[in-house]
A and B are shown apart, each in its own frame.
Chain A
Amino acid sequence: MEANTRSTGRLPAAFLTPGSSSFMDFLGAHQPEMLPGNRQLPPVQGVVEAPHGTTIVAVTFPGGVVLAGDRRATMGNMIAQRDIEKVFPADEYSAVGIAGTAGLAVEMVKLFQLELEHFEKVEGAQLSLEGKANRLSTMIRSNLGMAMQGLAVVPLFAGYDVDRGRGRIFSYDVTGGRSEERNYATTGSGSVFARGAMKKLFRDDLTEEQATTLVVQALYDAADDDSATGGPDVARRIYPIITVITEDGFRRLGEDEAAELAGSVLQARLEQPDGPRAALL
């Protein structure tokens, strides 16, 4: 059912019918079987084994937001992948980090990126940050059937709100419920430990560099206490993926930058294995 295999080769009528600027709506009307939410999962006994992505963290700072993730994917007790990428740019001013079933999550991100790009091309303008966050909500909700079978996808969405001039973070639950987080947020199996670290380290006058250091500290603490979260792997040169979104748009830290940040955190942990101490009072 590809577009150009019809008898005459012309664009099918659905392509030329004025309608929604949403790619998902178009797909739903034209080729509904391609929408992830429309797939029927065969009845299975027990839990489906598939690689799961783990910890994602985000923190705002004056001028933007940082979104980062570790590199491990697990399948039960096994490490399925050491260098998985779980943080993606959604468009120029936003990024999405995913925890949960890796295969479904990557597909969801691909469709989400396309949804934003398609809208932008058709309308000639970007969706508002809230609009983008709501689209992601819809996509998670359409995965609810899978989530009930243990194949959940729970992302974290972060972006720079061009209208308001600040970074914002949205977190989700498996049913598509969406809430805006103040200051910092975490998701995935190591999120509890990461959140504890961030709670103690966060302050509202962080610089961009401090914010990126903070996320590495939080991921380190998550890896410290959660077996499914990977710490910095110096031997293989695998470091967390760290992205920064500011007025200038999305930027992913290069491998050298990430290595340097992880290196300085590791160095400090040799002295103090539990990381920086917060004041008691």
Chain B
Amino acid sequence: MADRAEYARKGIARGRSLVVLQYADGIVFVGENPSRALHKFSEIYDRIGFAAAGKYNEYENLRIGGVRYADLRGYTYDRDDVTARGLANVYAQTLGTIFSSQAEKPYEVELVVAEVGDSPEHDQIYRLPHDGSIVDEHGSVAVGGNAEQISGYLDQRHRDGMTLAEALKLAVQALSRDTNGSEREIPAERLEVAVLDRTRPQQRKFKRIVGAQLSRLLESGADAGDDVAKAPAVEETDTDSGSDEE
């Protein structure tokens, strides 16, 4: 078992990290992704989004399985009966069965399933590691190679009621920290950003943020940025705070 866990963890660590954050009007997904076509984030259903780190073919398979599950469930019952909790359960069972079956190799993936509610208290974020466990997350979550360090950074700085620009800026700061503590710049064209926006009038709340809209948000985040990073009490001993660089 330990070997299998090690194998899966190594596979996941090879991929780039991604983060999922709550903000005032919903949930934002941010990751570094050089590809325009092979997405890390996607829509599962009206209010449910999916994020994955690790091996592409494996999480793509799980993603399509999730879309099929959600669409079939919505068709059989009603659109309101498709929930992130139900989907996360099915994913956890799937990953868990594969992990403990000697006949199959463990999946090298870590998933996040998020559902946006009518208000921030009703948002749900579930993290699903490779072994079929399921973690109910609040505020912010990171998965992928450098996840531990990034989630530590996010935990200290994320607060409720951030604007989208603030949350996006925080996410990019967190992602641009390397394992050795140094920083690098992630250009806008290498960022993949999507939101579940509860204020969207359409039934389907998932939306990708690309091009001019993304640049605008990044810029407005940079303007507001100084107050944002200083607002929460960040201990100086932590690491040199990346926000001062702006």
Contacts and interface: CB of A to CB of B under 8 A. Distances in A.
A15 B42 CA distance: 17
B76 A8 contact: no
Given A23-B71, A31-B72, A118-B71, 20 more contacts: A3-B69, A3-B73, A4-B69, A4-B86, A4-B89, A9-B89, A10-B93, A10-B96, A11-B93, A15-B64, A15-B65, A16-B94, A26-B68, A26-B72, A114-B71, A114-B75, A117-B71, A121-B71, A124-B37, A124-B42
Contacts of A3: 69, 72-73, 90
Given A16-B65, A121-B42, A11 B71 contact: no
B108 interface: no
Interface residues of B, number: 29
**Residue among B68, B71, B75, B96 having the largest count of chain A Cβ atoms under 10 Å:** B68
B74 interface: yes
Contact of A122 (B67, B76, B90): B67
Interface of B: 37, 39, 42-44, 61-62, 64-69, 71-76, 86, 89-91, 93-94, 96-98, 204
A10 B75 contact: no
A110 B74 CA distance: 10
Contacts of B98: 10
Contact of B76 (A34, A117, A118, A121): A34
Interface of A is mostly: helix
A162 interface: no
B205 to A, nearest CB: 13
B89 A8 contact: no
Contact of B90 (A11, A18, A110): A11
B90 A4 contact: yes
Given A4-B89, A8-B97, A9-B89, A124 B39 contact: yes
Interface string A1-19: 0111000111100011010
Given A3-B90, A121-B43, A15 B76 contact: no
A127 interface: no
